[in-house]
Chain A
Amino acid sequence: MDRLDAVSSLKYFVPELVLVLTLIGVLLCDLISKNRAPMERRLLIVLPSLFGLLVALFFSVSIYFSASGPDPSDAQALFSNMVAFDGFGSLLRILFIFTAIIILLFTIESRELRSVHHGELLVLLLTVTVALIWMANSINLLMIYLALETVSVASYIMVGYLKTDRLSNEASLKYILFGAVSTGTMLFGLSLLYGLTGSLDLYEIRAALMSEQVVASSGPALMVIIVLVLAGIGFKTATVPFHFWCPDVYTGAPTPVTAFLSVGPKVAGFAVLVRFFYGGMASSTGEQTWTMVGSVDWQTILMGISIITMTLGNIAALLQTNLKRLFAYSSIAHAGYIMMGAVALSDRGIKAMLAYVVVYLFMNLGAFLVIIVVHNNTGSFDIKDYAGIWRRSPMLTIVMGIFLFSLMGIPPFAGFLAKWYVFAAVIQAGLVWLAVIGVLNSAIGAFYYVKILKTMFMEGSDTAEPSSKLELHPLYAVLLFVLVVPNIVGLLLWGYLDRVTEYSHKLLDVM
């Protein structure tokens, strides 16, 4: 692995540079267009944002393919070991930019955001996107903290974007309070880790933890460090016991922002988890499995968190009557499934996590888009107001059905593939009973997903005009199509996804 200085790192850093330039450009566009007509002004900020994101997407995809091949010696450490450049990060970079494009298009016709100016929202979206990329690529404690804080601060503002909406304000405030506490807790853990090892570099930390003198007597300290650091990661991934903010924030935030939070920061949180534990606290055995470094059994801790997270998320989701709240708990449960991949301590586990987040992106964003479309028409997030949707728009019901079946993990759809990967990884690691708990949880999950679908087919008794068609904006129709197709043909893409993850998981062992 090469260790590059700042100047020679730049050529691996093009997408991030494009995104930062775009966000500054959009900020300026927003300022100079102040006196123009609203529609014209909207275009002047949406088009540059979209253009910048597309250019960044183009560069990330070309970087991904040019760094092609299964040769892990392509991995680089950029900016004097601050961020990694490898297959893992390259895949996640594409994923984050793609998510940002989808969310940008979500915001355009959303009823909640109709009355507010979008300028700052798009700047914030671009900032979070680039910070998510930094977060997923950091291999230095300082960079992990800074990227995480940038994501958090921008997310707080996005959640509270509807200034006149009381729920949005409340959500933002709760998010800030929880975020500040958990980031501070994590920072304390990182400072202890620095005190123990004398380094901020994850790979130097691993080397220090492997020395016999440290292994012999650092058990309690390492235990405290891991618990404290998990507070920060758990907050971002919304895993129990750091999930309390999740339902309120998801309900109060504008729905496009909720959709973004349920994918972007969560996936980046898991990337940090993998970088931190597999980069700093485990070493590859060379036979596709990993062993833990140091004297603390963090595999068991992660396993406990995973089980509690999915069980609690699924059971709490059963009781919800508000769809955004239900999806908050559903996303908590999915965090539990994704965490199972990290528990497996194998290459296969990391591959499973990558496959899961790719599929999760499509099914979860799709479900949120249906929520936005229904809210645009009915102005409600209550499940009971979904009664009669089948009569008003059969297509939308079918599409929602596909997203929900995919979230359940029913075979013909992509969600099954994701779950299959994760369960196979833990079974291969010898944790059969963990897979059994996962399957049981999927069964519980099916209840509330089916409940939504059942309501959509029911007759809407109290709707004034039950026969009126739901309006579907052409832009949203195209987006629904883009999101639903991968869910349907998921099983056909099995081989492709396998190849992508095969290349992408090769990251950490060489460093």
Chain B
Amino acid sequence: MEDLAPKIIFWVFAALMLGSALIVVAGKNLVRSAFALLATFFSVAAFYVMLGADFLAGAQVLVYVGGILTLILFGVMLTNRIYSLELNTPRFQVVPGALVSAAIFMILVTVVRVTPWKQASIVEEGPTTARIGQALMNQYVLPFEVASVLLLIALLGAAMLVRRRTDL
């Protein structure tokens, strides 16, 4: 019985994630898609919790649900006549597309099943924040700094793109 509970939780969240992701992609209403994305992000956070990655789960909720998604919703709702907007998503080449997707899916499933994946040793459960902080300041200090350059340049590019031509 003890093994059963995590499995049920896993499948519930997996179903939630896939179902909501499908609505995001196929939905014709932009607001509905944005709210479905919320469920997707939450389900991913749930997986992080199940893997014992507490900090990652928190960051996922704060950054994606709290930050990015709220921004998307703001953008969507501030747009004029958003509720009457019908998303125009024409479908091309349905049959070939479905065949290719199915083939890729089969290949990936086969690969996942036959490959001897590296098993990580079971780590002690507990707060991961301190360990992440130490890794960022020691082993991963260069990627950490490179990421800051990347963010600086993304900020600069965003500012440049939204700026009016007159106030150069």
> A153: which B residues are within 8 A, CB to CB?
150, 153-154, 157
Interface residues of A in 2-30 (CB under 8 A from B): 5-6, 20, 23, 27
Interface residues in A, total, Cβ within 8 A: 46
Q: What CA separation (Å) do A153 and B155 show in the bound complex?
A: 10
Write the B66-109 contact mask toward A (1 if CB under 8 angstroms, else 0): 00000000000000000000000000000000000000000110
Q: Quick check: is A149 within 8 A (CB to CB) of the other chain?
A: yes
Q: Which residue of B lies closest to A221 (CB)?
A: B115
| Chief secondary structure at chain B's binding surface | helix
A124-B153, A124-B156, A150-B149 known; A79-B141 Cβ under 8 A: yes
Whether A224 and B146, one on each chain, are in contact in the complex, defined by CB atoms closer than 8 angstroms, is no
Whether B110 and A220, one on each chain, are in contact in the complex, defined by CB atoms closer than 8 angstroms, is yes
Chain B interface size, under 10 / 10 to 19 / 20 to 34 / 35 or more: 20 to 34
A120-B160, A163-B161, A224-B108 known; A195-B117 Cβ under 8 A: yes
Interface residues of A in 71-99 (CB under 8 A from B): 78-80, 82-83
Q: Quick check: is B133 within 8 A (CB to CB) of the other chain?
A: no
Whether A150 and B138, one on each chain, are in contact in the complex, defined by CB atoms closer than 8 angstroms, is no
Whether A197 and B160, one on each chain, are in contact in the complex, defined by CB atoms closer than 8 angstroms, is no
Q: Which residue, of A123, A130, A146, A192, has the highest number of chain B Cβ atoms within 10 A?
A: A146
Q: Which residue, of A83, A117, A217, A221, has the highest number of chain B Cβ atoms within 10 A?
A: A221
Q: Tell which of B110, B142, B149, B157 touches A130, judged by Cβ atoms closer than 8 Å.
A: B149
Q: What CA separation (Å) do A317 and B116 show in the bound complex?
A: 46
Q: Quick check: is B165 within 8 A (CB to CB) of the other chain?
A: yes
Interface residues of B in 131-168 (CB under 8 A from A): 138-143, 146-147, 149-150, 152-154, 156-157, 160-161, 165, 168
List 11 other contacts, CB 8 Å, given A82-B142, A124-B156, A150-B149. A6-B141, A80-B138, A120-B156, A131-B146, A134-B146, A142-B143, A143-B142, A153-B157, A195-B118, A196-B115, A221-B114
> B161: which A residues are within 8 A, CB to CB?
157, 160, 163
Whether B141 and A217, one on each chain, are in contact in the complex, defined by CB atoms closer than 8 angstroms, is no
A-B contact pairs, 5 of them (CB 8 A): A80-B140, A124-B157, A150-B150, A192-B111, A217-B115
Q: What CA separation (Å) do A150 and B142 show in the bound complex?
A: 14
Q: What CA separation (Å) do A83 and B142 show in the bound complex?
A: 9
Q: Tell which of A5, A164, A214 touches B116, judged by Cβ atoms closer than 8 Å.
A: A214
Whether B143 and A224, one on each chain, are in contact in the complex, defined by CB atoms closer than 8 angstroms, is no
Interface residues of B (CB under 8 A from A): 107-108, 110-111, 114-118, 120, 138-143, 146-147, 149-150, 152-154, 156-157, 160-161, 165, 168
Q: Quick check: is A218 within 8 A (CB to CB) of the other chain?
A: yes
- Minimum C-beta distance from B166 to chain A (A): 11
Q: Quick check: is A198 within 8 A (CB to CB) of the other chain?
A: yes
Q: What CA separation (Å) do A403 and B74 show in the bound complex?
A: 53
Q: Quick check: is A408 within 8 A (CB to CB) of the other chain?
A: no
Q: What CA separation (Å) do A197 and B149 show in the bound complex?
A: 29
Q: Quick check: is A156 within 8 A (CB to CB) of the other chain?
A: yes
> A157: which B residues are within 8 A, CB to CB?
153, 156-157, 160-161
